[in-house]
Amino acid sequence: MAIRKSDKTYLEALLELTSTFTEHLSDLKDRVYPSACPLALVDCLLQSSQILVDRIQQIISSSSTAQDGVVEDLLAQASDVYVFIEFFQSYVLPIIRASDSENVPAELVRPLEQIAGYVFPGSNLVISSVPESNYYFSEMSTKIKEFFASLNLESVLAEQKFDARDIYHLQLSGNPPCNILSHCLLGHEIGHALYRKLDVDATISPWIRFDDAVIKRIAGSIFEALLNALSASQPPPQMVLQQTREIIEYRTRFQLPLIAASWAEEIFSDFIGTGLFGPAYICSLSVLILPFDDIDMPSESHPPSRFRVQSCIRALHRSDPGFGYKRLADRKENAEYDALVRPWSEAVTSVPHRPTDDLYKTVFGLILSIKDNILLEAKRQLGTSAFSYSRFHAEVPQLRNRLIDWLPPNEYQLAASDQFRTPSIQAIFNAGWLSYLEDMNRLLGLFPKFPELLVRKKYYQLIAKGIELSNIQDRWETLSKSV
């Protein structure tokens, strides 16, 4: 029996779609990428698309003379091809398109790969850039592997010698509040990915418990507020009121732990960001979230901004639990740390402001009681990957001095007779923030005839140049050791 005309039209359209998909991939293959992962993905997809063109042509040829049952099977295979192409066309290709050298600062790629590698060893990064102030870090490999397996194309990944098990999409902001310095916010997004990858929720969720009496009290207050809003002249029937009260209590019973779990994940991710980048993360977070009108206003997904910044600062202040940056015995040794943290500490004050809403106030009280446990869990997950106070104290002051002299912060010496050393990207970010907060007026004075915005732009470029030169030095050192 001949294939229906509509099915034949569908198969011909699918063949055209697959051919167009191949053309898009060919265009992406001609682009230059600062990292290896995007091009490897394009190679795999290009080989797959060529296989799929042959398959669809074979389906069209076979379906013209096949029996009804066989035709249905062939159409199902064609449908799988469509889903495959639609996924990569709509999700993966836009990410790759935004990952070329025109969009992504090449000097950041290797350091960011290293930072992601601290938490996810052996991971492959696809780093893209978007115009808005938005950061994102998520695992891609599971879906990619599933779609290749759905069409029996696993051999393509193997032939290309490309391991798709550990692909992560790292999205940079193309318009951050403080240019390159704001990229420390990636630490928070890495925290979210770590939370999901290692199922940290299984550790934290047993700590999130609300007494039945608390749930009934909150539901009662919500119900009373609803009653007060209703017209007294036409009160609802008693049965409706009772059902409404039960619905409110049922909703509250589920809403409380969901909000608490979301807040706990946000605080955990802030602690991961603080551990990975030190005080520089607090600077980046504060610049992003403190300018809003009400820093004590929570939402169902996020705790109050004041509380988040306070929690990060106290995480560094404390030695156990905490990251131990504060050295109270030596004020001179604390000078750089205090200069980085003091502006934000003063902005949020030392008093945690509890939300006024009864529901949020209850969640806030619970999170406050388990905050140190969340910090200990973040420390445990980071292990030795955290940016230590010893490295901060050894590197940051000297890199700050280079910036004061309008030099790229790409090397430092522990002693005058010591050889020059390559700093970590975390130290460069911390030195950048320190000089930004403490020395910007002095730096602006070096170029009195230039507009302030231009000097600031050049300052950010100086930090980027420091990262780039550190990359070069690090690669030379690695190469010399291997020879």
**pLDDT tens for residues 320-341?**
888 988 765 566 668 899 999 9
CA distance 472 to 470: 5
DSSP per-residue letters across 11-58: HHHHHHHHHHHHHHHHHHHTS--SSHHHHHHHHHHHHHHHHHHHHHHH
Pair (220, 364) in one structural domain: yes
Boundary-marking domain end, from 327, 360, 385:
385
Pair (333, 440) in one structural domain: no
> Is 171 in contact with 116 (CB distance < 8 Å)?
no
Mean pLDDT of 301-306: 94
Pair (304, 397) in one structural domain: no
Pair (370, 400) in one structural domain: no
pLDDT for 324 equals 86
> Is 290 in contact with 347 (CB distance < 8 Å)?
yes
In the chain, pLDDT over 90 holds for what percent of residues? 55
Number of domains in the chain: 3
Alpha carbon separation from 234 to 170, 227, 229, 262, 385 (Å, rounded): 56, 11, 12, 39, 64
> Is 73 in contact with 137 (CB distance < 8 Å)?
no
For tokens 């393509």, name the residue: 156
Name the pTM for this structure.
0.87
pLDDT for 358 equals 86
> Is 184 in contact with 284 (CB distance < 8 Å)?
yes
CA distance 4 to 63: 10
Mean pLDDT of 284-292: 91
> Is 131 in contact with 180 (CB distance < 8 Å)?
no
**Containing domain of residue 440, as a range?**
389-475
DSSP conformation class of 134: -
Mean pLDDT of 334-357: 86
Pair (282, 381) in one structural domain: yes
In the sheet where 124-130 sits, what is the strand order?
Answer: 124-130, 167-173, 136-139
pLDDT digits (tens, 9 = 90+) for 179-228: 999 999 999 999 999 999 889 999 999 999 998 888 888 888 877 777 77
Pair (325, 439) in one structural domain: no
pLDDT digits (tens, 9 = 90+) for 412-459: 988 777 888 899 999 999 999 999 999 999 999 989 889 999 999 999
Pair (141, 206) in one structural domain: no
Out of 89-93, 149-153, 234-238, least confident range: 234-238
Candidates 291, 293, 270; CA nearest to 282 is 270
Residue 165 above 70 pLDDT? no
Pair (354, 209) in one structural domain: yes
Mean pLDDT of the chain: 88
Pair (119, 224) in one structural domain: no
Pair (302, 440) in one structural domain: no
